[in-house]
Amino acid sequence: MEKTIYNESNGLWYELQGDYYIPCLTVPAEEEKPIGIWGQRHLRYIKQERKALYTELLTSGRLNTYLADINEQATEQMLLLTEQMAEREGVTEQLKAQDQMQWVQRMNNIRDRATEIVNHDLIYI
């Protein structure tokens, strides 16, 4: 028996493994991009809760690109929300100079609320 054969009807190569021919399938090469904290959170979520999406992205070779895009969107949204909330609530550099503890408390509150919004809108969907 031949070690490998080609099937013209479906365009696949098959390799002999014991008594059976198994298709030679590979995942396409994917561009490596850093996925960051938001991408890692979304990855954990889709692995546990959206297994079909995870498997489809993984086998198509688009998982890393998808996660990097989610990370970029989440980072931009987080910065924009934090900036807008701080401006709306009067958390300024002047407050920071006058009362640092008050500024830190208010900025932590703003950051926490912005994180919840990003999680709800982008990460856990």
Instruction: Please state, for a pLDDT cut of 90, what percent of the chain lies above it.
Output: 74
Distance, CA of 70 to CA of 123 (rounded, Å): 8
pLDDT of residue 28: 65
73 closest CA partner among 98, 30, 36, 18: 36
pLDDT of residue 38: 97
pLDDT band at 61 (very low <50, low <70, confident <90, very high): confident
Highest mean pLDDT among 1-15, 26-40, 59-73: 59-73
For residue 89, the number of C-alpha atoms closer than 13 Å in the C-beta half-sphere is 17
